A and B are shown apart, each in its own frame.
Chain A
Amino acid sequence: GALVYQYPRRTICKSGTSMRMECQAVGFQATSVAWYRQSPQKTFELIALSTVNSAIKYEQNFTQEKFPISHPNLSFSSMTVLNAYLEDRGLYLCGAGTPNTGQLYFGEGSKLTVL
């Protein structure tokens, strides 16, 4: 079956430092990867959508300068939260998709706490 693993599951970083999170697709080819953030007590906001061999599309309020994304192959993507501050805390979710089904398969998320 199609599975998506995210690492780390939880991390704590100091204010102003950066944190990198990874997303691994197993059992299918992840041609597209979407990154979401769930801020405390809120729903999931789309940060950006990355498609292999295409430009990464960032949503309003999110920038490449703040959330650089790498999607080097069909099984892996990473995103970094640069200069993290309190407002960046939350659960970061990765969803990976394949054109065969059009469905995004989601990982369990990476929880970021900023001190």
Chain B
Amino acid sequence: GDQVEQSPSALSLHEGTGSALRCNFTTTMRAVQWFQQNSRGSLINLFYLASGTKENGRLKSTFNSKESYSTLHIRDAQLEDSGTYFCAVDTNAYKVIFGKGTHLHVLP
């Protein structure tokens, strides 16, 4: 099976609401990164975590190495948050594996 699994594969949110995206991994990992790929296809770096929790505006990410998962929380969703969210796992030095992404659609 896949070493990095993301759920859900697709998600619709109304503006102002929130949700959590999940990234499960089956391989030993040192850190996780989260990205947003916007409608133009550009990849935007959101977080890099080797442990704990990080927060930036309406986004928060947690990393649980014991249970092998990471989450990305979005609150007060805005239209510009639409896009595909990828988690990428650092398995060892510079070997990064991407998940298949969660397609987020924010509705007015």
Contacts and interface: CB of A to CB of B under 8 A. Distances in A.
Interface in A89-115: 91, 93, 95, 97, 99, 102-109, 111
| Chain B interface bracket (under 10, 10 to 19, 20 to 34, 35 or more) | 20 to 34
Given A103-B31, A106-B35, A36 B42 contact: no
Given A103-B90, A109-B43, 15 more contacts: A32-B93, A34-B94, A43-B98, A46-B96, A95-B94, A95-B96, A99-B93, A102-B30, A102-B31, A102-B93, A103-B31, A104-B94, A106-B43, A108-B42, A108-B43
Contacts of B33: 103-104, 106
Contacts of A74: none
Q: Give the secondary structure class of A's interface.
A: strand
Interface in B69-108: 86, 88, 90, 93-101
Nearest to B38: A108
A93 B33 CA distance: 15
| Chain A interface bracket (under 10, 10 to 19, 20 to 34, 35 or more) | 20 to 34
Interface of B: 30-31, 33, 35, 41-45, 48, 86, 88, 90, 93-101
A83 B21 CA distance: 39
28 contacts: A32-B94, A34-B96, A42-B100, A43-B98, A43-B99, A43-B101, A44-B88, A46-B95, A46-B96, A46-B97, A49-B94, A49-B95, A51-B94, A97-B93, A99-B93, A102-B30, A102-B31, A102-B94, A103-B90, A104-B33, A104-B90, A104-B94, A106-B33, A106-B35, A108-B43, A108-B44, A109-B41, A111-B41
